[in-house]
Amino acid sequence: MKISREVKTAILVLSGIALFIYLFSFLKGDDIFSNTQTYYTEFDYNALPPSAPVTVKGNRIGKVEDISYDFDSGKTKVSFSVDPKLKFSKNSKVRLYPTGLMGGNALAIIDANDGQLAKPGDFIQSEIKKGLMSSMERDLPKVTEGLDTTLRSADTLVNSLNALVIDDSENGLKNTIAELNSTLKSFKSLSYSIQGVVNENDKKIAAILDNFTEVSKTLSELSTELKEAGLSTTVEDLNKTLESMQSLLASIDNGEGTIGKLLKDDALYKNLEGASKEMELLLLDIKLHPARYRRILSKKEIPYTPPTEDQKN
């Protein structure tokens, strides 16, 4: 069957018109071949662009289909379509939120998760999330007032610093900076000197560290040996001995026992002192008259003559 040129031309024109309609709808955000479900909501004002996205947890699942003004209620009615696979509660919220810093809004479905599923054509309650620009616009007078005060303070500070920098007096900032620079140079030179000393004595420092390690190891072994040798028992015995000595000294101080009586009895002290003096006189007499004591065994009595002061000396 041969198709005439007129039929071919008509088919081509109709195909072009269909393609144009599809491309136009696609550019508008409409997909004539898609299977979607439509729901409705409303806002106090219109802040949505045509074909604005509808998201769930940041994922796009639909778009705004139509925006119209209700003259009876004075509100903006919005119809939006979502993927039929999406199941959400009819008590959910449709949130209007900003998608960028400088503008642009979208809708987000905040699911209530109460098991009461929404059906196509249901009305969903709405809410609005304020954007950064809206908050700044509300707080801008306070911000500008505080900024003005801050700028005035900054200007005063800059003027003070400027006056300090151009001060050529002895206490000027330039002289201070110059002295600080000189100090830093001296410190840098000192650090280089210290580094040189360390480099020259690197082996000695390493040997000292090795010796310190060996000493630490020796001390550790010594402490272990002392612990194994029963040092704690020895210290405990020494403590008991000191307690006994303390008790003994206390009894002596109280005049108890022989030593205590020797130290505390004044009469005994005086008797000992007298006996000591008599013993001293006896020894002195033996020294002066030895013949007298040689004749003791003889029955001749030699009378006792007290020594003079010169003889005592």
pLDDT (average), residues 72-79: 93
Is the predicted pLDDT of residue 98 greater than 70, yes or no?
A: yes
- In this predicted structure, what is the pLDDT of residue 10? 81
pLDDT (average), residues 295-302: 57
- In this predicted structure, what is the pLDDT of residue 208? 86
- In this predicted structure, what is the pLDDT of residue 199? 80
- Percent of the chain surpassing pLDDT 90: 22
299: helix, coil or strand?
A: coil
Q: How confident is the model at residue 149 (pLDDT cuts 50, 70, 90)?
A: confident
- In this predicted structure, what is the pLDDT of residue 22? 67
How does pLDDT run across 11-64, given as a tens digit for each residue? Answer: 888 888 887 776 766 565 555 555 678 999 999 988 888 889 999 998 999 999
For 99, phi and psi rounded to 5 degrees?
-100, -10
Which residue shows structure tokens 């409303």? 42
Q: Which residue has the higher pLDDT, 292 or 211?
A: 211
CA distance 173 to 167: 7
Is the predicted pLDDT of residue 299 greater than 70, yes or no?
A: no
Taking all residues of the chain, what is their mean pLDDT, rounded to a whole number? 79
The answer for residues whose C-beta is within 8 angstroms of residue 224's C-beta and 6 or more apart is: none
Is the predicted pLDDT of residue 106 greater than 80, yes or no?
A: yes
- In this predicted structure, what is the pLDDT of residue 117? 92
pLDDT (average), residues 212-237: 77
pLDDT (average), residues 248-266: 73
- In this predicted structure, what is the pLDDT of residue 133? 47
H or E, element range at 98 = strand 93-98
- In this predicted structure, what is the pLDDT of residue 301? 59
Q: How confident is the model at residue 166 (pLDDT cuts 50, 70, 90)?
A: low
Measured CA to CA in angstroms, residue 11 lies from 17, 19, 25, 78, 163 at distances of 10, 12, 21, 38, 87
Burial (CB count within 10 angstroms: exposed 0-12, middle 13-18, buried 19+), residue 157:
exposed
pLDDT (average), residues 111-122: 91
Q: How confident is the model at residue 75 (pLDDT cuts 50, 70, 90)?
A: very high
- Global pTM? 0.38
